[in-house]
Amino acid sequence: MQAAAAALFKEWSGYLKPEDISQLESAFHFSEQAHEGQFRRSGEPYVSHPLAVANILAQWHLDPQALTAALLHDVMEDTAVTKTEISRNFGKPVAELVDGVSKLHKIEFETHAEAQAENFRKMLLAMARDVRVILIKLADRLHNMRTLGAVEPEKRRRIARETLEIYAPIANRLGLNSIYQELEDLSLKHVYPDRYRVLAKAVKAARGNRREVVGKVMDSIKRKLKNAGVEAQVHGREKHLYSIYRKMREKHFTFAQVQDVFGFRIIVNDVAACYLALGALHSLYKPIPGKFKDYVAIPKANGYQALHTTLFGPFGTPIEVQVRTAEMHKIAEAGVASHWLYKSSDTSLSELQKKTHQWLQSLLEMQSQSGDSVEFLEHLKVDLFPDEVYVFTPKGKIMALPRGTTAVDFAYAVHTDIGNRCVAVKINQELMPLRTELRNGDRVEIITAAHAKPNPLWLNFVVTGKARSRIRHFLKTMHFQESAQLGERLLNQSLTALGSALAETKEAQWDKFVRDSGAKSRQEILADIGLGKRLAAVVARRLLSLGEPGPNEVPAPGSVIIRGSEGMAVQFAKCCQPIPGDPIIGIISKGQGMVIHTHDCPVIAKARHDPDRILDVAWDPETKKPFEVSIKLVVANQRGVLAKVAAEIAEAGSNIQNVAVDPEDGSRYTNMFFTLQVSNRLHLARIMRGLRRIPEVVRLSRVKG
C-alpha cells in the first residue's frame, strides 16, 4: 500500500506544491494508522479506499484541503478519531469537510429510511456551505460502486438503487457527466445484472456490425467540415448502457429499434464555429424535424452547453451529433469540478458556479420549510429530474424548469410570495388554468391577489420540490395558527368550568407547564389542544394546580361558538353535513382538530363512550359562510327538467357545487343528486319549497352520508 501511495503522490506532484504533497503524505499515514487492522470486504487494507477516492479527486485537480479530507473521510465514522483531532492536525476547513461527509452513525433512528434521509440532509447542508463535500462524497460513492461485487446481493441492490435515485442525479445536476454516466451503468449492473449482461453483449455485437457505417459517416463529416473551413475534432461516441436501457423502457423499444446507439461529438474553436459546423452537417445529411436543441444559446441548469441535432444518415440510420467548443466540452465532462480543474476567468465557468450556488441555496430554503428529513429527501428527488423545459417571464428572462412543470411551479420558481398569492396565469397572452403544463418557449405571466393563499389541491399537480415544500409549509403554518386559536377557546372553556379563566393564568404557571410537558412554547400546547393531541380539561387542571388555589364552585361550562370561519382547525363532517340550525356536537379527533357532527349522526356513537372527546358547541347566529348540503330528487323523466331544477335553485340564491343524474334506463322516473351551498336550515327549507312547486318533482329529501 505504501508503494501505491508513493506512486500516486509522485503523479499528483505535477500540479501540487511540495508542501502540499508533504501534508497529503501526513494525512495518508494518519489515515493508515487510524484504519489499522480494518479490511474491506474484498480483503484489501481499508486505507486503499480513501487513497482511491483521493485519486479520483486528483483527476479533477482539486485543492490539497479536499484531497486531505478525502484521505481522512472515514476516520470520524469508523475509528475513534474526533473532529477536534483532525482540526488540530490538518486545520479547521479539512475537519469541516470530513464532518460534512461523515454519517450520523451515533444517532438512533426508528427506520433505515429515516437514518438515510437524515444523513442526506446533513450532507447536502454541508454541501451548501462547501460544494467540495459532495465532490468527495461522489468520488467515495464511485469507488464503492466499482468495488460493490464483494458486498452481499441484497445490500448491493439497495446501494445501487440509492445511487440511481440520489447520487447519479446529483452528479448530473452538478454537470459531472463522466461520473453520472458511470454511476448509472454500475447501478444498472447491480440492480438488474441479467439485463445489463444482455444489453452489454448486444452493444458489443452492434459495435462490430456498425463499425463500417460509423467509419464512413465520420470520414464524410470530417471532409464536409474541412470543405466548409471549420477546424474541428470529430469523435465517435457510444451511448452509455443505462441511457439505452432507459430509452427501451420508456418507449417500449427493443434493442434493434434503438438506432441512435452511436453518435458523434464535434469539438470546434469558438461559438461561431458551432453554428457553421451545424450548417455544414445539415447540408451533408437531412436533419430530423423536431430533434434540434440549442443548449448554447439556452444552457441547461447544470451549465451544460452544446448544439444537438439528429440526422438521417446513410441507409436511413439516425445519427446523433453534438457540437461544442473545447471549453464547453471541459464543463460538460467535469461540471462544477471544472472550477478547480481549469483555473480561468471563463464567463461560462462563473455562470456555472452562480447556477450551482442558486441551486444549493434553494436546497437550504427547501430544508428549512420541510418538516422532517424524509420529506426533504422526497422534495430533493423531485428536484433532481434531468429533463427540462425552457419558458420566458414577461420581461423575456429564460427560466429552466423540470418537464411537467405547471404554472404554479413557475410562480414559486419566480418567488415564494408570487406562488402563495397566485390566482390566475396568462400563457402566451391567453388566460389558462393554474394546473396547465408548460411547454418549451411559453411566455408565462402570473396574476396575483393580495389576500390569496395556496390551495391544498395544488399538491396534486405541482412537480418541483420548491413548490411542494412551500405549499406544505404554508398549510402547516396556517393549520398550526388556526389550531392554536381553537385550542385557546377550548382551554378557556375548560378553565371557566373550573372557576377560572385563561386571562387569570400567570406567566409563571405557563412557563412551568411548558417546561414540564417538553413543549417548545405556549402556542404549541394550544395547537395540540386544537388538534386533539392534548385534552383541554387535563391542561386546565394541570395549569390550575401550578397556580394558587381557586374557588371551589364549578359553574357549567359554556358552549364553544362555531362561526364556520375557523379554517382547518374545525372541520364539518362529510357523513352528516351539518349546517347552521342543525343541533350539533363537537368531537375532538386526534391530529384533525375538532370535527362537527349533527346530534343524530350514527358515526358519533363510538365517541359517546369517551366523554372527554365530546364538546358542547353552538352555532354563531351571525354566521355568513356558505355550507355544503346534499339533496336527492326523484323527478319525472322528461326533457328540460334539469334546467328547471337548476333555475329554481339559482332563484333561491344557492350555488350548485356538484350534480349527478342516474343513468337512463327507460324508466318513467329518475334520481338527481345535488350538492348545494346554503346559509342555514331556513335557506335550505326555502330552496326545497321552491323545488316542490315544480310539477315534475315527485319526491325530495336531504341526504346525509
Backbone angles phi and psi of 412, in degrees to 5: -70, -30
Joined together, the cell numbers standing for residue 93 give 476547513
Same domain, 509 and 530: yes
- 286 within a domain of the structure (yes/no): yes
- 571 within a domain of the structure (yes/no): yes
Per the annotation, the verdict on 616 as an active-site residue is no
Same domain, 527 and 560: yes
Residues 6+ apart with CB under 8 A from 613: 532, 587, 588, 589, 607
Element (H or E) spanning 678, and its range?
strand 669-678
Instruction: Count the neighbouring beta carbons within 10 Å of the beta carbon of residue 276.
Output: 17
Domain edge (last residue) among 343, 366, 382: 343
Q: What is the pTM of this model?
A: 0.60
Residues 6+ apart with CB under 8 A from 253: 247
When pLDDT is cut at 50, 70 and 90, the band that residue 114 belongs to is low
Same domain, 304 and 159: no
Instruction: Count the neighbouring beta carbons within 10 Å of the beta carbon of residue 469.
Output: 28
Backbone angles phi and psi of 655, in degrees to 5: -105, 135
Of 692 and 362, the structure prediction assigns the larger pLDDT to 692
Task: Check if the beta carbon of residue 581 is closer than 8 Å to that of residue 596.
Answer: no
- 484 within a domain of the structure (yes/no): yes
Task: Check if the beta carbon of residue 141 is closer than 8 Å to that of residue 183.
Answer: yes
Q: Is residue 345 predicted with pLDDT exceeding 80? A: no
Same domain, 171 and 215: no
Domain edge (last residue) among 161, 191, 221: 191
What is the domain range of residue 271? 210-343
Instruction: Count the neighbouring beta carbons within 10 Å of the beta carbon of residue 563.
Output: 13
- Radius of gyration of the chain from its Cα atoms, rounded to whole angstroms: 33
Q: What pLDDT is attached to residue 406?
A: 93
Q: What pLDDT is attached to residue 280?
A: 93
When pLDDT is cut at 50, 70 and 90, the band that residue 648 belongs to is very high
Q: What is the CATH number of the domain that holds 287?
A: 3.30.460.10
Give the C-alpha separation, 183 to 164, whole Å.
7
Least reliable range by pLDDT among 204-218, 283-297, 411-425: 204-218
Of 215 and 626, the structure prediction assigns the larger pLDDT to 626
Q: Is residue 45 predicted with pLDDT exceeding 90? A: no
Residues 6+ apart with CB under 8 A from 638: 696
Tens of pLDDT, residue by residue over 423-479, are 999 999 899 999 999 988 889 999 999 888 898 889 888 988 888 888 888 888 887
Same domain, 21 and 116: yes
Burial class (CB in 10 A: 0-12, 13-18, 19+), 622: exposed
Q: What pLDDT is attached to residue 697?
A: 93
Q: What pLDDT is attached to residue 134?
A: 84
Task: Check if the beta carbon of residue 405 is closer than 8 Å to that of residue 437.
Answer: yes
Please report where in the chains the cell 459531472 appears, as a residue: 176
Strand partners, 268: 232, 325
Q: What pLDDT is attached to residue 408?
A: 94
Catalytic residue among 25, 77, 260, 294: 77
Q: Is residue 342 predicted with pLDDT exceeding 80? A: no
Per the annotation, the verdict on 238 as an active-site residue is no
Give the C-alpha separation, 19 to 35, whole Å.
24
Give the C-alpha separation, 454 to 423, whole Å.
9
Domain edge (last residue) among 343, 366, 393: 343
Q: What pLDDT is attached to residue 554?
A: 40
Same domain, 488 and 613: yes
Give the C-alpha separation, 372 to 350, whole Å.
33
Joined together, the cell numbers standing for residue 429 give 397572452
Longest CA–CA separation in the chain, Å = 105
Same domain, 184 and 216: no
Task: Check if the beta carbon of residue 490 is closer than 8 Å to that of residue 560.
Answer: yes
Joined together, the cell numbers standing for residue 687 give 330552496
Please report where in the chains the cell 469539438 appears, as a residue: 267
Task: Check if the beta carbon of residue 599 is closer than 8 Å to that of residue 583.
Answer: yes
Same domain, 332 and 289: yes
- 102 within a domain of the structure (yes/no): yes
Backbone angles phi and psi of 198, in degrees to 5: -65, -45
- Give the pLDDT mean for 562-585: 83
| DSSP one-letter string for 180-197 | HHHHHHHHHHHHSHHHHH
- 146 within a domain of the structure (yes/no): yes
Residues 6+ apart with CB under 8 A from 427: 407, 436, 438, 442, 443, 444, 445
Alpha helices in 176-313 (DSSP H): 177-191, 193-227, 241-251, 271-284
Give the C-alpha separation, 336 to 242, whole Å.
23
Joined together, the cell numbers standing for residue 137 give 462524497
Number of domains in the chain: 4
Q: What pLDDT is attached to residue 354?
A: 67
Joined together, the cell numbers standing for residue 209 give 456490425
Could you tell me what percent of the chain has a pLDDT over 70?
Answer: 83
Q: What pLDDT is attached to residue 549?
A: 46
Task: Check if the beta carbon of residue 688 is closer than 8 Å to that of residue 631.
Answer: yes
Please report where in the chains the cell 347552521 appears, as a residue: 580
Please report where in the chains the cell 494518519 appears, as a residue: 30
Give the C-alpha separation, 553 to 540, whole Å.
15
Strand spans (E) along 516-667: 560-562, 570-572, 584-589, 593-598, 614-615, 617-619, 627-636, 655-661
- 133 within a domain of the structure (yes/no): yes
Q: What pLDDT is attached to residue 102?
A: 78
Task: Check if the beta carbon of residue 572 is closer than 8 Å to that of residue 627.
Answer: yes
- 434 within a domain of the structure (yes/no): no
Pairing of strands 560-562, 617-619: parallel
Q: What pLDDT is attached to residue 1?
A: 65
Q: What is the CATH number of the domain that holds 35?
A: 1.10.3210.10
Same domain, 156 and 304: no
Instruction: Count the neighbouring beta carbons within 10 Å of the beta carbon of residue 301.
Output: 19
Identity of residue 357: H
Of 78 and 182, the structure prediction assigns the larger pLDDT to 182
- Measured in whole angstroms, the distance separating CA 231 from the mean position of its chain's CA atoms is 44
Give the C-alpha separation, 210 to 216, whole Å.
10
Catalytic residue among 78, 99, 114, 346: 78
Give the C-alpha separation, 147 to 327, whole Å.
32
Backbone angles phi and psi of 702, in degrees to 5: -85, 140
Q: How many helices (H) and strands (E) does the chain have?
A: 27, 20
Same domain, 10 and 155: yes
When pLDDT is cut at 50, 70 and 90, the band that residue 172 belongs to is confident
Of 555 and 73, the structure prediction assigns the larger pLDDT to 73
Q: Is residue 696 predicted with pLDDT exceeding 70? A: yes
CB burial readout 625-634, b (16+ within 10 A) else e = ebbebbbebe
Same domain, 610 and 484: yes
Same domain, 544 and 648: no
- 384 within a domain of the structure (yes/no): no
**What's the mean per-residue pLDDT of the chain?**
82
Q: What pLDDT is attached to residue 106?
A: 43
Element (H or E) spanning 702, and its range?
strand 697-703
